[in-house]
Amino acid sequence: MTPLRQRFIEDLQLRNRSPKTIEAYVYHVRELARYYNQSPEQLGDDQIHRYLLHLLHHKQVSWSSYNQAVAALRFFYGVTYPCDTVVTRLPYGKRPKRLPAVRSPQQVALFLDTVRDRTVRIVLRTIYATGLRISEALHLTAAQIDSSRMVVRVLGKGQKERLVPLSPQLLEELRAYWRETRPTQWMFPGKDSHQPLNAATVQKACKRACRDAGLPRITPHTLRHCHATHLLEAGVDTRTIQALLGHHRIGTTALYTHVTLAGLRQVVSPLDRLPPPQGPSTSH
């Protein structure tokens, strides 16, 4: 590892960036250097500008991936190797806003019942019951489950801790699972008990269950969306849901108000409010 890359990683660690973010940022700066076969210290405005255009027009990366590359380069040239380059002034690309995919409670129940693997099924039931991200669920430990207070202590993005309610039904299921499997470090260990279950294993099981049950696509993140939307439909306020999901901005949580069927059904179309027709008028 070069001293420059080491300093870049240390700068990210000092700002409490997650290991996943550090890995992604290092990847994007490394790809820039590979594209020109030069150290990023030797690159100028025009080269960085052309590389970003290459990402958009030739590699046709998603806006999420493009914005992550911009964020990585802005950090590198703004903190680790400070210089006034074009990238520090670049705005982020505007991603198209799509409504989150939400399934009905009946579809969720069928999906969970169809998942074959016992461990994967309890992981997915935990995500739906608590609204955890998949990484948060897979790194869950027994110590985070507080049965006396009926809460789960979650360590989320940016190492921010939050509390989420613990479903009594989920608690019983987790206890039964623990008695059978006796996990040690992680509640949901992988083949190597020192490592948590791999996210790809969970994703593959989701695809298989959807195919077997004839359901539309459901992923662990879909279950998180369902958790939030079903709470909203049950009358839980948006601010509470924001805290439960660990959203930084209320606007992220407010997106779920656009997909609640309960709210949509309360809307009366202006067409339905029109007065009834009076019949053809008679003319003399």
Q: CA–CA separation, 24 vs 280, rounded Å?
A: 69
Q: CA–CA separation, 232 vs 12, rounded Å?
A: 36
Q: CA–CA separation, 260 vs 227, rounded Å?
A: 12
Q: CA–CA separation, 29 vs 51, rounded Å?
A: 11
Tokens 């009366």 — which residue? 268
The set of catalytic residues is: 133, 157, 221, 224, 247, 256
Report residue 270 as tokens.
Answer: 């202006």
258 vs 70, 100, 133, CA distance in Å? 30, 9, 21
45 vs 25, 29, 84, 193, 258, CA distance in Å? 19, 15, 9, 48, 41
